[in-house]
């Protein structure tokens, strides 16, 4: 289906790898001109070239910047003051116990995962409201609703994004601007694939066999019993960014593979 995104501009933060890259690809597939963001300028440029090659009718743009850094954010805003769609995907995570997390690490998680995303919204939301069209999409995690206890700083920041999304959505009342959040479950990003591949050395197993073994041993609560493909999240994101999804307002949309065991 045509999602009506041709020639619209989309800034996807952290879009050179993983979920962000998949979202950039799916938006470009729908005809959007994607602003590719990442900290590594070479990776950003490479991703722009790949998008242009895959979707030659679109005009992807390099938007390299460390968005956790205020000066770099402001430089990006000066270059790109208006976008039709903002996907706040950038974030950091690692397995880090509560006892091992110091004050500086808490502050880094808050600054990177929350304050940077909020700064993006403060710049782009007013213009969307003025033009009466826009999409803001946060990428959270099932950890936002069901903290595992293995990464409390990460879980805290993702929960905060749910609250921020709902608060900002209240400002869009009566407009064609929407603010929503996707909550992915365990996703097969490049890093996850490398980790799974490394867990069973010396065993003649296909990746699918390794994945099944890992899920059965470590993620029994998953009803999907496989990792979610980034492209699956990318397609959902493209739909939520489209005019087709105008009735989604301040919604947490779960694509968690059944990880969250409750109905709410």
154 is catalytic: yes
Q: Which letter does DSSP use for residue 243 in this model?
A: G
Q: Are 131 and 87 in contact (CB under 8 A)?
A: no
Q: Which of 172, 167, 169 is nearest to 132 (CA)?
A: 172
Structure tokens at 141: 């995690």
Write the burial class of residue 78 (CB in 10 Å: 0-12 exposed, 13-18 middle, 19+ buried).
Answer: exposed
Structure tokens at 128: 């969307």
Distances, alpha carbon 45 to alpha carbons 7, 49, 73, 96, in Å: 20, 6, 18, 32
Q: Are 29 and 55 in contact (CB under 8 A)?
A: yes
Q: What 3-state DSSP class applies to 218?
A: helix
Find the catalytic residue in 93, 98, 109, 154: 154
**Cα angle 83-168-174, degrees, rounded to a multiple of 5:** 85
d(CA 150, CA 94): 9
Catalytic residues: 154
């Amino acid at each position: 289906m045509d999602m009506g995104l041709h020639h619209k501009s989309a800034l996807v933060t952290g879009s050179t790898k993983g979920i962000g890259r998949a979202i950039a690809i799916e938006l470009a597939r729908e005809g959007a001109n994607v602003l590719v963001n990442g900290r590594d300028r070479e990776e950003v440029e490479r991703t722009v070239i790949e998008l242009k090659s895959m979707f030659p009718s679109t005009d992807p743009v390099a938007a390299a910047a460390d968005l956790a850094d205020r000066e770099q954010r402001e430089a990006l805003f000066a270059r790109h003051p208006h976008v039709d769609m903002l996907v706040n995907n950038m974030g950091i995570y690692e397995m880090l116990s509560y006892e091992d997390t110091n004050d500086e690490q808490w502050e880094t998680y808050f600054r990177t995962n929350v304050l940077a995303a909020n700064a993006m919204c403060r710049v782009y939301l007013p213009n969307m409201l003025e033009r009466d069209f826009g999409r803001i999409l946060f990428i959270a995690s099932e950890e936002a609703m069901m903290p595992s206890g293995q990464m409390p700083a990460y879980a805290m920041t993702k929960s905060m994004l749910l609250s921020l999304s709902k608060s900002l959505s209240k400002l869009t009342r009566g407009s064609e601007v929407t603010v929503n959040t996707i909550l992915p479950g365990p996703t097969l990003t490049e890093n996850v694939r490398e980790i799974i591949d490394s867990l069973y050395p010396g065993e003649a197993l296909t990746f699918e066999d390794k994945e099944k073994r890992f899920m059965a041993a470590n993620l029994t609560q998953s009803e999907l019993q496989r990792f979610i493909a980034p492209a699956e999240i990318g397609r959902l994101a493209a739909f939520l960014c489209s005019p087709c999804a105008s009735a989604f307002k301040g919604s947490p949309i779960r694509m968690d593979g059944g990880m969250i065991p409750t109905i709410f």
